[in-house]
Chains A and B, each alone.
Chain A
Amino acid sequence: MAKTNTASSAHAHEKVAPIHGGILPAGAKAPDFTLHVTPDQTLSLSDLRGRPVVLAFYPADWSPVCGDQMALYNEVLPEFQKFNAEVLGVSVDGPWCHAAFAENRHLHFPLLADFEPKGAVARKYGAYRTNDGVTERALFVIDKNGVIAWSYCSPIAVNPGADGILQALEDLPK
């Protein structure tokens, strides 16, 4: 079972050991990125500086489960919004696929297409599965200063739920 890592005592410039799947740990600066959020528009992480960001990498749209991870976060959105957190879903699917998926699941948060170059942003976060060509199920809670406060890599077949994210948001300094 993957371990979590929190930044309660780490400083951003200290060397922090990589964890399961090599994802970026708490304390690391969250790499900036610009990805398509719709076929015509892009979104950059730095656009969201000043509020916490929940970055959820997931393998693919359209898995045949009604409570899949993105649908779950959609239901939980009001809880995330209590912390003024923005939620972003990221997979290697293209923006048209995301558009259809978001419409089908009535998603109220953006899905980003880490499509071209494939998985480039996931790689920066240590969250790309080179054998499968999809991203890990990796979660990052990024504080309002752009530093990763918490990260977790779930086994690919297990939906990690929202409890770790909510705990991390609660633990952020006010």
Chain B
Amino acid sequence: MATLKVPIVAEDHAQGPENAEVTLVEYGDYECPHCGRAYPIVQRVQKHFGKRLRLIFRNFPLGEMHPHAVAAAETAEFAGAHGKFWEMHDLLFENQESLGEPLFLELATTLKLSPTAMQKALEERTYEARVRADFSGGVRSGVNGTPTFFINGHRHDSSFDFETLVSAIDGAMRKEKSA
């Protein structure tokens, strides 16, 4: 069973308490339709578990298949460097069909970030290393497509529909209790 090789660190993008019973890591690609489908499901899962769950998002752009995926990831990292990661993450998934620099700059404005600074960051590939590091760490951990989920460090190999995810997370919580 594939396990997460890169531990959670302070620089990771997290929603939920650090000491949550279960940590759900998602490796995702903003241009991937499966990740787009997973986006509202993950939000439902978060609502369901509340403080018992921490969500971490890491980049796994399939750059060869999805022409805007890498730039979208760098856009989200730029927003993250200015305290607006999750807002940008959400907006990107909500606007999957129009990904591209015009959208990224528009979203920067929406989030009260400087479009000029964002454009510069994208041109200079300021966040390329961060995205690449996420990707390499994901490959080493056995990420085999997008989205790939890890529940308390173990790769989730079944469906990411709401019931299956909840059931798997419940299972991990039971294991935690009996540990």
Given known A-B contacts A159-B145, A162-B139, A166-B139, A67 and B64 have beta carbons under 8 A apart: no
Q: How far is the CA of A69 from the CA of B64 in the complex (A)?
A: 13
CB proximity of A110 to chain B, nearest CB, Å:
16
Q: Please tell me which one of the listed residues B2, B33, B135, B141 contacts residue A66 in the complex, with CB atoms under 8 A apart.
A: B33
In the bound assembly, the distance between CA atoms of A69 and B142 in angstroms comes to 12
Chain A contact-residue range equals 20 to 34
Is A17 positioned at the interface, with any CB of B under 8 Å from its CB? no
Name the contact of A158 in the complex, choosing from B62, B141, B157 (C-beta under 8 A): B157
Q: Mark B136-157, 1 if CB is under 8 A from A, else 0.
A: 1001111111100000000001
B10 CB-CB contact with A under 8 Å: no
Question: A157: nearest residue on chain B (CB-CB)?
Answer: B157
Q: Is B66 an interface residue (CB 8 A)?
A: yes
Complex Cα gap A59–B5 (Å) = 28
A160 to B64, CA, bound (A): 19
Interchain CA distance A35-B56 in the complex, whole Å: 44
Is B50 in the interface zone, CB < 8 Å from A?
no
Q: Which secondary structure dominates where chain A touches chain B?
A: loop
Tell me which residues across on chain B come within 8 A of A161, comparing CB atoms: 2, 139, 142-144
Does B17 sit at the interface, judged by CB under 8 A? no
User: Which of B2, B141, B145 is within 8 Å of A68, CB to CB?
Assistant: B145
* Given the contacts A72-B145, A75-B64, A66 and B139 also touching, CB distance less than 8 Å: no
The answer to whether the Cβ of A163 comes within 8 Å of any Cβ in the partner chain is yes
A 66-95 to B, binary, CB cutoff 8 A, 1 in contact else 0: 111101101110010000000000000000
A35 to B141, CA, bound (A): 32
Cβ of B62 and Cβ of A67 under 8 Å apart?
Answer: yes
Known: A71-B62, A105-B64, A163-B2. A66 touches B143 (CB 8 A): no
Question: How near does chain B come to A66, taking the closest CB pair, in angstroms?
Answer: 5
B66 closest partner in A (C-beta):
A66
B5 contacts across to A, CB distance below 8 A: 163
Q: Determine if B169 is an interface residue (Cβ-Cβ < 8 Å).
A: no
8 extra interface residue pairs, beta carbon distance < 8 Å, beyond A67-B145, A72-B144, A158-B144: A67-B34, A72-B145, A75-B64, A75-B135, A106-B64, A159-B145, A160-B144, A161-B139
What is B's interface to A at a CB cutoff of 8 Å?
1-2, 5, 29, 32-34, 62-66, 135-136, 139-146, 157
